[in-house]
Amino acid sequence: MSSINMQQTDPIKFLDDFRGKEFNGKWPTLPEMFNITVKRFPDNNCFTDFEGPGGSKNTITYSQALEKIQTLANFFAASGIKHGDRIAVSGKNSPQWAVVYFAALYAGAVITPLDYALHDKEIENLLNTAKPKFFFVDSEKYDYFTSKKFSFKTYSLNPAQKDTYVYSLKSTKTGKITPATEDETAAILFTSGTTGTPKGVMLSHKNLVSDCYMAQTRMNIYPTDIFYALLPIHHAYTMLAVFIEAISVGAELVFGKSMAVTRLMKELKEGKITMLLGVPLLFNKLLSGIMKGIKAKGPLVYGVIKLMLGLSYIIKKLFKKNIGKSLFKAVLKQANIYTLRIAICGGGPLAPSVFKIYNEFGIDFVQGYGLTETSPIIALNPVYAFNINSVGINLVGIEVKINEPDKDGVGEICCKGENVMLGYYNMPEETKKCFTKDGWFKTGDLGWIDKNGYIMLSGRAKNMIVTDGGKNVYPEEIENAFQLEDDFEQITISGYLLDKKSKAEGIEALVYPADSMITKLSVSRTDENAKEVILAATSKIIDKINKTLLPYQRISKITILDEPLEMTTTKKVKRVYKK
Query: Residue 250: which region, alpha, beta or left (left: phi > 0; alpha: psi -120 to 50)?
Result: left
Compute how many other C-beta atoms are within 10 angstroms of the C-beta atom of residue 265.
16
- Looking at residue 7, its pLDDT comes to 47
- Looking at residue 255, its pLDDT comes to 97
- Looking at residue 2, its pLDDT comes to 41
In 3D space, the residue among 398, 321, 390 whose CA is nearest the CA of residue 359 turns out to be 321
In 3D space, the residue among 420, 448, 418, 452 whose CA is nearest the CA of residue 434 turns out to be 420
- Looking at residue 195, its pLDDT comes to 39
- How many whole angstroms separate alpha carbon 509 and alpha carbon 531? 16
Per-residue pLDDT band for 503 (boundaries 50, 70, 90) equals: low
> Contact 122/102 with Cβ under 8 angstroms?
no
The model carries a pTM of 0.84
Does the pLDDT of residue 501 top 70, yes or no?
no
Q: Which residue has the higher pLDDT, 144 or 192?
A: 144
- Looking at residue 499, its pLDDT comes to 64
What average pLDDT does range 279-290 have in this prediction?
Answer: 85
- Looking at residue 502, its pLDDT comes to 55
Does the pLDDT of residue 3 top 70, yes or no?
no
Does the pLDDT of residue 576 top 80, yes or no?
no
> Contact 447/455 with Cβ under 8 angstroms?
yes
Q: Which residues of 224-248 are buried (b: 16+ CB within 10 A; e: fewer)?
A: ebbbbbbbbbbbbbbbbbbbbbbbb
- Looking at residue 569, its pLDDT comes to 66
Q: What confidence tens digit (pLDDT) does each residue in 301-326 have?
A: 999 999 999 999 999 988 889 999 99
- How many whole angstroms separate alpha carbon 207 and alpha carbon 504? 42
| Mean pLDDT of all residues belonging to the chain | 91
- Looking at residue 459, its pLDDT comes to 80
Q: Which residue has the higher pLDDT, 472 or 113?
A: 113
Percent of the chain whose pLDDT exceeds 70: 94
- How many whole angstroms separate alpha carbon 290 and alpha carbon 332? 8
Does the pLDDT of residue 224 top 90, yes or no?
yes
Does the pLDDT of residue 100 top 80, yes or no?
yes
Peptide bond before residue 376 is cis, with ω within 30 degrees of 0 = yes
- How many whole angstroms separate alpha carbon 487 and alpha carbon 540? 11
Q: Which residue has the higher pLDDT, 3 or 71?
A: 71
In 3D space, the residue among 488, 481, 486 whose CA is nearest the CA of residue 507 turns out to be 481
User: Which of 217-226, 253-262, 339-348, 493-502 reaches the highest mean pLDDT?
Assistant: 217-226
Angle 247-376-428 from CA coordinates, rounded to 5°:
125
Per-residue pLDDT band for 572 (boundaries 50, 70, 90) equals: confident
Q: How many angstroms separate the most distant Cα atoms in the chain? A: 74
In 3D space, the residue among 265, 343, 362 whose CA is nearest the CA of residue 305 turns out to be 362
Q: Which residue has the higher pLDDT, 503 or 124?
A: 124
Give the count of alpha carbons within 13 A of 412, CB side only: 15
- How many whole angstroms separate alpha carbon 147 and alpha carbon 135? 14
- How many whole angstroms separate alpha carbon 542 and alpha carbon 536? 10
> Contact 201/126 with Cβ under 8 angstroms?
no
In 3D space, the residue among 459, 467, 463 whose CA is nearest the CA of residue 412 turns out to be 459
In 3D space, the residue among 375, 3, 40 whose CA is nearest the CA of residue 213 turns out to be 375
Q: Which residues of 170-207 are buried (b: 16+ CB within 10 A; e: fewer)?
A: eeeeebebeebebebbbbbbbbbebeeebbbbbbbbbb
- Looking at residue 477, its pLDDT comes to 83
Give the count of alpha carbons within 13 A of 533, CB side only: 14
Does the pLDDT of residue 167 top 80, yes or no?
yes
* Cα–Cα distance list, 1 to 10, 18, 95, 452 (Å): 19, 32, 41, 7
Per-residue pLDDT band for 490 (boundaries 50, 70, 90) equals: very high
